[in-house]
Amino acid sequence: MKRNFLGALGIAGLLLLCAGAPAGCAGDGPGAGGGDDDGLIDAGGGGGDAGTLLTITSPTPGQIFTRDKAVTAGFAAPIQFTASASAGVASVEWVAEDVFSLGVAEAPDFALMADFKGDGDRFVVAHALAADGRDLGTARIDFVVKAMPGQTGTCHEMLNALGVSYVLGPNNKGVADPVTVNTPINGIAYYAYGAATPQSKMFMDCKLALALQKLGDVLRPRGVTAIEHIGIYNYRCIGGGDPDSGTCTPSQHAYAKGIDLHEFRVGATTYNTQTDFVIDPDTMPTCTATTSNDKDKWLHEVACLMHTQKVFNIILTPNFNADHRNHYHVDLTAGSDYINAIDPGAIGVDPPHGSHAH
């Protein structure tokens, strides 16, 4: 088995790939790893080229990493992976627990940075790839991730670690963990709908503050500097009504865990959900639909990026219904993750058109 083979070498990150050799050279993979990305793997290097040498140079076997980096979903351990390889290896794909791809890195050092949140014994498998994409074989590195002493991961602790400026309260009805956040948030200025100047502070639940911090991470690489929004807190039910009546479903706005995004600004260029987003046919999922122009394409990409990057649990675009024609409604509904039901294989963001869920 490969685990025994690596153990015999005494270097967990070194693997001599020998195509056509006995099963002991590229047999069954090791067992499950711990943490967020648990999974069984088969680290076999089938199809490898004889004499290919792949060495994981960083991290070192058994190295311990502390989750000391604040990210919006908790604290993470930043880890750099590097490797050296013989001629013929053009790139390396790094795969956590041989299940979740961290990305592909090029020669000469095949370097890649990744954040790990799950505590315990972890491992990553490096797949050596030829220039034509052939998998020449694999190598594995084991390491340990642990929390910092006294780390609790509370929402306030996360905001503090991320450097978000805020004060507690006020204690408005329906809001479990109220905070008032000073803007900009992670480099993004926020304008109330129709306002000529940006807001200096915004009231919301602490969890939404973390989500907006992450939204900045997602949007700033696309050049976004400002967002115009239609509102956050509104103590009401979906479609109207009093949450205290017991006869309707409270909106996430009632909990200050939702925000309606109307326009994105990249310098002097605006991307407006009402004027630039082109409604897709009902047969086309949002993230695979053919777009009409550059601004329409950009808005579709941003909506889908917010979904794939798990910034929010629900994203309703103008495709959803007439009530959403001028904004993206995004919120943190617990347990939700809307994928378009029309094409289950596509990465979409809307439930079936015509429903109302905000």
Read off the pLDDT of residues 240-277 as tens digits, 9 standing for 90 and up. 899 999 999 999 999 999 999 999 999 999 999 999 99
pLDDT of 115 above 60: yes
For residues 128 and 106, give the distance between their C-alpha atoms in angstroms, rounded to a whole number.
10
**Contacts of residue 29, Cβ cutoff 8 Å, sequence gap at least 6:** 2, 3, 40, 41, 42, 43, 44, 98, 125, 140
Quick one: pLDDT at residue 281? 84
Which of 44-48, 298-302, 341-345 has the highest mean predicted lDDT (pLDDT)?
298-302
Across residues 322-346, what is the average pLDDT? 67
For residues 239 and 225, give the distance between their C-alpha atoms in angstroms, rounded to a whole number.
31
Taking the whole predicted model, whether its pTM rises above 0.85 is answered as no
Fold of 2-147: Immunoglobulin-like (2.60.40)
pLDDT of 69 above 60: yes
Question: To 5 degrees, how large is the angle CA 300–CA 303–CA 199?
Answer: 120
For residues 152 and 9, give the distance between their C-alpha atoms in angstroms, rounded to a whole number.
40
- Run of H or E including 114: strand 112-116
Q: Is the Cα dihedral 146, 144, 161, 309 positive or negative?
A: negative
Q: How confident is the model at residue 355 (pLDDT cuts 50, 70, 90)?
A: very low
Span of 19-23, 168-172, 219-223, 276-280 with lowest mean pLDDT: 19-23
User: What does the radius of gyration of the chain's CA atoms come to, in whole angstroms?
Assistant: 24
Compare 148 and 62 and report the one with higher pLDDT: 62
Q: What tokens appear for 65 in the block?
A: 């990493």
Query: What type of residue is 299?
Result: L
For residues 1 and 80, give the distance between their C-alpha atoms in angstroms, rounded to a whole number.
27
Quickly count: other Cβ atoms within 10 Å of residue 175's Cβ: 22
pLDDT of 47 above 80: no
| b/e 91-126 (16+ beta carbons within 10 angstroms → b) | bbbbbbbbeeebeebeeebbebebbbbbeeebbbbb
For residues 64 and 31, give the distance between their C-alpha atoms in angstroms, rounded to a whole number.
20
Quick one: pLDDT at residue 323? 80
Across residues 94-103, what is the average pLDDT? 92
| Domain chopping of the chain, boundaries | 2-147, 155-331
As a dihedral over the C-alpha atoms of residue 326, residue 332, residue 337, residue 341, rounded to 10 degrees, the angle is -30
Query: What type of residue is 270?
Result: T
- How many Å is the maximal CA-CA distance in the chain? 73
- Run of H or E including 211: helix 206-219
Across residues 211-219, what is the average pLDDT? 94
Compare 196 and 162 and report the one with higher pLDDT: 196
pLDDT of 49 above 80: no
Quick one: pLDDT at residue 267? 94
Span of 126-135, 223-232, 242-251, 282-291 with lowest mean pLDDT: 282-291
